[in-house]
Structures are given as C-alpha cells and as structure tokens.
Structure 1
Amino acid sequence: MTLESMDFMAFAETYLADEKGEDASKVFNPATGDVIARFPIATNSDVDAAVQRASAAFKTWGSTSPAERAAVLLKIADAVEQKTDEFARIESLNVGLPIGDVRDFVVPTVVDVLRFFAGAARISTAPAVDEYDNESTSWVRREPLGVVGLITPWNYPLLMAAWKIAPALAAGNTILLKPATVTPLSTLKLVEIANNFVPEGVLNLILGSGSAGTAMAKHPGIRKIAFTGATSTGKFVAATAAETVKKVGLELGGKAPVLVFADSPIRQTARDLVTFGYSGAGQDCTAACRIIVEESVYEEFVEAYSEEVSKLVLGDPSDPATTLGPVISEKQLKSVLGFIERARDAGNTIKTGGRQADRPGWFIEPTVITDVKQTDEIVQSEVFGPVVSIQSAKSDDEMLQLANDVNYGLSASVWTTNLARTLRFSKELRFGTVWVNQHTPNVSEMPFGGYGESGYGRELSLHGLDEYSQLKHVMVKPGLDL
C-alpha cells in the first residue's frame, strides 16, 4: 500500500481491528509479543503507481531552488522536534528501544540531520569554474537523479529514514520510501509530518514485504536504490538493480573490532564499552561487539566488563530506568540464541547471560563470551543481539591482524593514550569509521559507510548529498555569437 498523508493513530487502529486480513502485515510490541497494528502489503502495481506519481512530482520538485528545498527541510525538522515525545513513545513501543535513548539521542539526531542537509542543499562541492584548457570555460552542474527508492532497516527506523530522506530531498529527488515490515510506525509519523510541507507526490510511502523492495530495485523509473540492512539482502538488491543500471548505495552489516590496549584506563573503558555494546540490544551494525584486549590486561578487563554488564537494567522500554530492551522479534530471538548455543558447543565460555530472560516478550540476557578463536562463528559473523565476544592478543601487530580478519569493514575503535599507535591504527584498520577512545557517535558533517561486505557509498556529509546527485560537465568555447 502507498500512503501520502494520514491520521497516524486512526490508520493504525483501522488495521488493528482488521483481524481477518490474510495479506496484512502484523506489527508487534517486542516487549510483550502483542500485535499492535496490521497493515496491507504493497503490490507491484502499488509500487508502479507510486513511481508514476513521483515521476510527475519530479517535474516540479526537481526544478526548485536549493533555497526552497532547504526551507522545506527546516520546516520538517522543526515539526519533528515539536513531536519528540510522541516519536519516543512510538519508536520505543514498536522497536523496543529504551524510551530515554529515543528521546535524548535518536530524535535530536534526526532533527540535526534534517537541518544539516537543509544547509548542504545550498553548498556546491564542484570544482571552480575556470578555463582548464586555456580556450574553453568549464563548470559542473549538480543535478538530481529523479525518482529514488529508499529501503530502511528495522533496528533504527526513524534515524535511518532521516539519513536517506534528508539528502534525497536536498538534492531535488522525489522518493519511494519502504520501511522494514516489522517497524513502520515511526516512519508513518515522519512521512505524515513531511507531507505537510513537500508537494504532493514528492514523498511516497510503500508498506510492503521484500517483494515490494524487489519491485523497487527492478523498476526502470527508479534511478537509485539506497538500502540499509543485511549483507545477503544487499547483494540481492545490488544484483537486481544492475538490471536497469541504476545507482546503488549499500549500508550493510558489521562486526566492529574494539581494540583495548594496556595503557587505556581499564575500568572506565569497560564501562563505556558496555554502553556501546548493548545499546539497542546490540542490534546495531556498529555495535562494539568484538573486543580484542592486550594480553597483559585481559583478565582485568574481562572481570571489569562482566561487572559492568551486570548493572544493565533489562526491562520495559517505556520505563526510563531501562537500559536494555528486547530484540525485535521471535525470529531474531531464535537467531541470537542459536549463535549462543553454537558458541557453547564450539567450546567458547559463556561468561555471563546466554539465556532468554524469564519474562514476556523477546528479551535475551546480556551475554559475554570468552575463550574464542578468530575462526569461530561468534567472531566472524554478525549476531545482531546483546552478545559480545572478548579475545586477547599479544602485540600491536596481532591486534591489527585480528581486527582486519573479517569480511566486514564498517566501523572499529581503538582505546589507547599512545599517539603513535592512534595514527598507525587509524590508517591501517580497514573500516569506514575508526573511533579513538569512543565508539558509535556520528556527526552529520562527516561521511559514514563501509569497506568490503559492509557495503559501498556514503551517508551523511556533503559526500552523502553527492550520492543522491549526478554531475554534468559543461564546457563552452566562446566565439559563436555567445
């Protein structure tokens, strides 16, 4: 189904009451397992109708000035900011994120991204106009692509929607936006707000399953697909989009190495890394989930880390005291528990946790796994749950070798007070983002994206704006009655 504007609660209640809809997609509260909404699933004809509508709207929106697009984005940002508490309730209910995290981090970041791209719309990254061959004058035009398809994940649906909508609108494109089937609620609200300010047909919402995403990737009227999600799905999206030679941006999985050196303040580092490892119940492609500790402080770190993990408060995401919520679904619960069981069978030590919590909903105890080898599944594969592995290394060279020895290349962090080591590792780590003495923060001004099987293309920053643009070189030789 495609939607342009709606009364959010009335829409949700309508489909919650439709208990017999066989084609309806169920939306759950992961903290209870209860169904909280049902939505019809978009068909290929729905996708085609949305493309036609977006193509018609592009004829006008694509010709608006950067100042006009910036003004619209600023209005959307202000409106989102005014609805902070409502977004916090919706995201916490549907995704299971602690309500304080949504209110204090997610929504302010969404607002900042919208405001950044409002400014970026008015800035050119093109080379200066000049006579590069001494005869002709050259300049570069940055032009919108046309209709773009945005496919967002279930772990941070509001934030990821903003990361894609903001640069796409700033560059002058029109949009088909498909949120994940299980977490559409905050995106519904965001689109409802945005459509108060963008012209009709500019922003079109697709509520659908994977088949709707496939239809978007195949459609010749869509000139770019921006996808965030699993690496396996991203490969399929890229292959499908190649049939119509459309531009593709992929932000895929991660297995972030966290390198803790002996000169780091161990207790404080452990405290910080627990926050970064279990935020969002570990369902974050940048999660600090693979810790590699210098051997001389390994035992000290493991004990300090395990003690800090025991302080996490697992509970109702709507409770401000909660620091660890549920995983998103029963399917994800079974997947994560499967990783833990296979780690146990492989001889790894379950230092803490390792079980489903004894309460309603899809909660897993925060889990720490030690005595792991580099070739173990728990080190090599993305778990996407509240599970962190800890291993040791004897030297800087071994730390670097272990860190780079995975297929993913999204993010990494280094914890040290040594400047020479900082400079070396920031250069030699093969990851799109390297943090030093911190983990997971991003800023709108800097690019975000991965190496290897973590995808390609960049989000945020002026580079992110260029991802939604095409460049045209104009070269003029004077002398013909110009």
Structure 2
Amino acid sequence: MEHVESMSSTITPVRLGQLIGGRELPADREIEVRNPSRRGELVGAVADGTAADVDAAVDAAVAAAHAWAATSPQHRIELFARIADEIDAQADDLATLVARENGSVRPIVRRELIGTGAAFRDVAAYLVEKLSPVEHPSGPAGEFVRVHRRPFGVVACVVPWNAPLILTANKLAPALAAGNAVVLKPSPFAPLGVTLIARIAASILPPGVVNVVNGGGEVGAALIGHREVRKISFTGGGETARHIMRQAADTLTGVHFELGGNDPAIVLDDADLEATADRIVESAFRRAGQVCFAVKRIYVPRSQADEFARLLVKRAERITVGDALDERATMGPLNNAGQLEKVQGLRERTTALGRDVREVGTALDPDAWNDGYYLMPALVLDAQHDDEIVREEQFGPILPIVAYDTEDAAIAMANDTEYGLCSSVWSRSVDRALDVASRIEAGMTIVNNHLFTPVGSREIPFGGWKQSGIGWEASPYGIDEYLQFQSVDVQSFPERDAS
C-alpha cells in the first residue's frame, strides 16, 4: 500500500466556506474532515456555520426564488445539462476526494458520480409535462378549470454521509427543476464532495438559487425552524426525522423523509443458490453495509440453509478490506467512530448469544488496521428471527441468515418489522416471485437481485413504507415532493340585455 500512502499524503487539504447568494463566505470556526481509512490524515475542512449563516442563506434563497420560478422549463433543462457535463468533467477528482472523506472504495464512488450527473439530465424526460397546466372545460360560455403545479419557494435539503453525492443530486435536481431555491446542509461526516457538487450547480444557476450552510445541530435547528423554509427534505435516521417532524410542526412545514431500512431477502426453494449468493454478497457488503437499501437479513428454506450458508461464506471470502483508494480493496472502512462502535457492539452481543458468527474476507494491510475504522465482514449462519441482529438495522458489514419452514412464515418474518424500504425475492419462477413480492410490505422489491437495473434506477420511485420514510425520491415522481397545486376555476358573468 505504499503507493496509496504516497498518493494521498501529497493531496492538499480542501477548505470550503459557506456558499450564500453566489459567494463563498469563510467562518471563524471549521469542521475538520479526516480520512476514515487513515484517521490521522486531514482531507479538508468546511466552515462551521451558525444560525446567522442560515438566516443569510434563506434570505438569499428568498430573493432568488421568484425569478427562478419564472424561468421556462426548457431553460432549466439546458442549465441542468451544463451542470451534468461539469460534474462529469470533475468526476475523477471528486471520486478520489469523496473516497477519502467517506470511506467507500473509489470504484463505488465513481459509479455514484455517473448517477449524480444523470439525476440532472433525467429531468428533461418529464419536466415540461410536469409543469404544463391542465385545463378542463366547464361551461358553454368558455368557462374552464386550470390546474397548475407551482414550487414551494425555499426548500431545505439535509443529506447524509453514506452515499452523499447521489443522495444530494436526488434532492437538488428535482427541487431546483420544480422552480424552488434550495438551502443545503451536508453531513459533517462527508461535507466536501457535497459542497463541491452544490458549487458546480451554483456556478451555473442564478446567484442564491443554491446555497450551502455546513455545520452541526445549531445549523440544522435554525434551518428546520426557519419560517421562510416551506419544505424540508431529509435523508437519514428515524430518530433525527422524528426530531425534525416535531420542530416542523411549529411552523406546519411540509416534510419529505427517506429513512432507514431492514431489507429482507427471501430465497425461495427453486432459486439459483450460487447466483443468489453472489448477488446478495455484492449488495450486503457494498459501502461496508452502510446503505439504506441493501440486504440486511436473509430468509432461506431450512432444507437449503446449510448449503446456502456455505455458498455465502465462499463468496464473501473474496472480499478484500483496505484503504478506499487501494485498487485491491473491494470494501473500505466504516465512516466514523460512532458507527464502528455500534456495529462492533452488535456483533459482540450476537456472538455472546452463542450464534455462529463467521468472519470472512481478507485484510489488505493488517499493520495499518487500527489507523482506520476497519471491521471485517461477517455472516451469522444460524440467526433467529428475534435476534437483535435481525430486528435492528445494522448499517454495517454483518449479515444474518434465518432458516424458514414455509413460504408464509418467511413472508410473515419479512414483514415483522417497523421498516419497509426495499426487499428482494429470489426464484427461477417469475410468477412465484411476483406473488411473494405482492405480499411484502415494502416500497420497492427486486426479483433476483438487490440492486436496480438502469431502468429501475431511473423509473422506480425511491421510498419506503412504515418508518422507512414519507414521500418518494428520484424517478419522474420525485419532483412531486417539491411542487404544490394551484387551481383556478374560471367562470363567466351571465349575459344581460343591453336595453
């Protein structure tokens, strides 16, 4: 790993101020961002904002919102194409930076950037239709009803650290396309790439249409409680979402939440077990398991449980854990100390139950292991449905396998959760898979994979049932969260005799 060390150590730390009204404003305080692969390395810093910064950003957004809402859909599409082109032009540098601040291996981040640019291009397919008024004739004298869709004005977008670029684009693109101005708050654990993506957009759009305020709880509270913010879009954990909802209630501000998941994979008895094992491992350990929609628990027929566990172990042994910039690594570290402590504790408690917790994979540089937030992946080969590892969203590289006796039992266990984000069904029979999918309580189900096809990524409304969210993201339906109806009923006076 000498090449990785020398390459990363020569990169100058990035320092970014707040982006308000088209200008970068420094702050007295900074939030340092360190590399989760090597905690001693400073990747960069962002300005640590205050409530006053939030006020200034919202004021800039309010000042820009009216003129931006008046622009034509076609003009917005043209500007978005330029934003996407610029993201593509900077993608290699952004991928390196975000791998260093986030901990996801660079190839994963590079693919994420493809989706980031696509989020801005994809609006061209639906924007004109979404913003075109619909008229309904209502009387013989030319009366009619017109239904418009209008932006809210100022939207606050709060984004997480685990897949920061695509999750930012999935909010920014539809919110801006709808005609809103945005104040964006990145996660302090991965703010650099998000801030730079927002800068790209801001450099092409009118001043004040995109604003960024980095910071912690003070910034979040000021943004959520601001009376000029008309909609809040948040991706993250349920506890934070509940806090936001309570605070938003004071101003009756609308909320859109994309929250966690505890995604079940139901393996039917006619599945291709080898292909299923390959694809489940690919989903479950992507980004070290720190993905809201990833396989978090597996249900497999009891008669096939031992064989399937063997195949999963065989496949997972190929995982190589190391520095996010190491070309040999297929899994990087966890993002932060709190997440590492949480997952380690969950793993220790599962082991203490007497479960067969099987560590898999290879550490690329054991001597540097304690320099980062590393954790070897593991499989729980004999988990029970009521185990904590099955009931809780682990958000880390540990995957439980639960044996079932009947299909009905598997579906009941899959649905026995407060979450309902994504799920998967594995079978050679499409009809059987569709029947099972129709009985799963989740916003999305994938058959014979737990990753979307390109068409699925583009067309599926991303969101969940129960405590996995409120509203939908991405796809042609994502823009609906950032539009409100305005309807006009045009009537005529009765004609009167002029005499």
TM-score category (smaller protein) = over 0.9
Deviations 1:75-107 (A, max 9, x none): 10011111121111111111111111222x201
Say whether the 8 Å CA contact 2:296–2:399 is kept in structure 1.
Answer: yes
Q: Which amino acid aligns with 1:443?
A: S
Q: Distance in 1 between matches of 2:205 and 2:443?
A: 33
Q: What's the counterpart of residue 471 of structure 1?
A: 485
Q: What's the counterpart of residue 107 of structure 2?
A: 100
Say whether the 8 Å CA contact 2:32–2:45 is kept in structure 1.
Answer: yes
1:480 shift after superposition: 6.6
Alignment map for 1:118-137 (pairs within 5 Å): 118-124=124-130, 128-131=134-137, 136-137=143-144
Q: What's the counterpart of residue 390 of structure 2?
A: 379
Equivalent in 161, 165, 170 of residue 158 of structure 1: 165
Q: What's the counterpart of residue 116 of structure 1?
A: 122
Equivalent in 334, 351, 354 of residue 327 of structure 1: 334
With the length of structure 2 as denominator, give the TM-score of the two structures: 0.90
Say whether the 8 Å CA contact 1:69–1:121 is kept in structure 2.
Answer: no
Q: What's the counterpart of residue 18 of structure 1?
A: none
> Which secondary structure does the structure 1 equivalent of 2:434 belong to?
helix
Q: What's the counterpart of residue 4 of structure 2?
A: none
Q: What's the counterpart of residue 19 of structure 2?
A: 3
Q: Distance in 2 between matches of 1:154 and 1:241?
A: 23
> Which secondary structure does the structure 2 equivalent of 1:175 belong to?
strand
Q: Distance in 2 between matches of 1:372 and 1:6?
A: 54
> Which secondary structure does the structure 2 equivalent of 1:434 belong to?
strand
Q: What's the counterpart of residue 316 of structure 2?
A: 309
Q: What's the counterpart of residue 363 of structure 1?
A: 374
Q: What's the counterpart of residue 414 of structure 2?
A: 403
Q: Distance in 2 between matches of 1:254 and 1:211?
A: 27
1:353 shift after superposition: 4.8
Equivalent in 190, 197, 202 of residue 190 of structure 1: 197
Q: Which amino acid aligns with 2:94?
A: F
Q: Which amino acid aligns with 1:247?
A: G
Deviations 1:280-303 (A, max 9, x none): 110001111211111221111000
1:478 shift after superposition: 3.2
Q: Distance in 1 between matches of 2:43 and 2:360?
A: 29
Q: What's the counterpart of residue 463 of structure 2?
A: 449
1:131 shift after superposition: 2.8
Deviations 1:142-183 (A, max 9, x none): 101000000000001111110000001100000000010010
Say whether the 8 Å CA contact 2:131–2:148 is kept in structure 1.
Answer: no
Q: Distance in 2 between matches of 1:282 and 1:134?
A: 62
Q: Distance in 2 between matches of 1:368 and 1:134?
A: 70
With the length of structure 1 as denominator, give the TM-score of the two structures: 0.93
Task: Point out the more displaced range, 271-280 or 289-298.
Answer: 289-298
1:203 shift after superposition: 0.3
Q: Distance in 2 between matches of 1:164 and 1:212?
A: 19
Equivalent in 416, 420, 425 of residue 431 of structure 2: 420
Q: Which amino acid aligns with 1:395?
A: T
Q: Distance in 1 between matches of 2:191 and 2:458?
A: 24
Q: Distance in 1 between matches of 2:39 and 2:227?
A: 39
Deviations 1:22-56 (A, max 9, x none): x4322110000123223331111110111111000
Say whether the 8 Å CA contact 2:102–2:190 is kept in structure 1.
Answer: yes
Say whether the 8 Å CA contact 1:147–1:221 is kept in structure 2.
Answer: yes
Q: Which amino acid aligns with 1:380?
A: R
Residue 24 (structure 1) aligned with residue 24 (structure 2)? no
CA RMSD of the aligned region, Å?
2.2
> Which secondary structure does the structure 1 equivalent of 2:55 belong to?
helix
Equivalent in 224, 241, 255 of residue 248 of structure 1: 255
Gap runs ≥5 in structure 2: 1-16
> Which secondary structure does the structure 1 equivalent of 2:438 belong to?
helix
> Which secondary structure does the structure 2 equivalent of 1:148 belong to?
strand
Q: Distance in 1 between matches of 2:237 and 2:464?
A: 13
Q: Post-superposition, which runs of at least 4 consecutive aligned residues in structure 1 deviate over 6 A?
A: 354-357
Q: Which amino acid aligns with 1:431?
A: A
Say whether the 8 Å CA contact 2:424–2:445 is kept in structure 1.
Answer: yes
Q: What's the counterpart of residue 215 of structure 1?
A: 222
Task: Point out the more displaced range, 270-279 or 373-382.
Answer: 373-382
Q: Which amino acid aligns with 1:386?
A: P
Q: Which amino acid aligns with 1:44?
A: A
Task: Point out the more displaced range, 266-275 or 365-374.
Answer: 365-374
Q: Distance in 1 between matches of 2:47 and 2:121?
A: 33
Alignment map for 1:227-266 (pairs within 5 Å): 227-266=234-273
Deviations 1:354-376 (A, max 9, x none): 99994121110011113222221
Say whether the 8 Å CA contact 1:120–1:170 is kept in structure 2.
Answer: no
Say whether the 8 Å CA contact 2:320–2:361 is kept in structure 1.
Answer: no
Compared CA separation, residues 337 and 6, structure 1 to 2 (3 A): farther
Q: Which amino acid aligns with 2:81?
A: L
> Which secondary structure does the structure 2 equivalent of 1:195 belong to?
helix
> Which secondary structure does the structure 2 equivalent of 1:443 belong to?
helix
Q: Distance in 1 between matches of 2:45 and 2:343?
A: 26
Percent identical pairs in the alignment equals: 34
> Which secondary structure does the structure 2 equivalent of 1:382 belong to?
coil
Q: Distance in 2 between matches of 1:168 and 1:277?
A: 30
Q: What's the counterpart of residue 291 of structure 1?
A: 298
Say whether the 8 Å CA contact 1:354–1:364 is kept in structure 2.
Answer: no
Q: Distance in 2 between matches of 1:418 and 1:185?
A: 45
Say whether the 8 Å CA contact 2:271–2:426 is kept in structure 1.
Answer: yes
Q: What's the counterpart of residue 65 of structure 1?
A: 72
Q: Which amino acid aligns with 2:136?
A: D
> Which secondary structure does the structure 1 equivalent of 2:169 belong to?
helix
Compared CA separation, residues 220 and 418, structure 1 to 2 (3 A): same
Compared CA separation, residues 2 and 118, structure 1 to 2 (3 A): farther
Say whether the 8 Å CA contact 1:26–1:182 is kept in structure 2.
Answer: no
Residue 172 (structure 1) aligned with residue 174 (structure 2)? no
Residue 83 (structure 1) aligned with residue 90 (structure 2)? yes
Say whether the 8 Å CA contact 2:425–2:433 is kept in structure 1.
Answer: yes
Q: Distance in 2 between matches of 1:373 and 1:126?
A: 53
Q: Distance in 2 between matches of 1:203 and 1:40?
A: 17
Q: Which amino acid aligns with 1:305?
A: L
Say whether the 8 Å CA contact 1:432–1:450 is kept in structure 2.
Answer: yes
Say whether the 8 Å CA contact 1:125–1:462 is kept in structure 2.
Answer: no
Gap runs ≥5 in structure 1: 16-20
Q: Distance in 1 between matches of 2:226 and 2:219?
A: 10
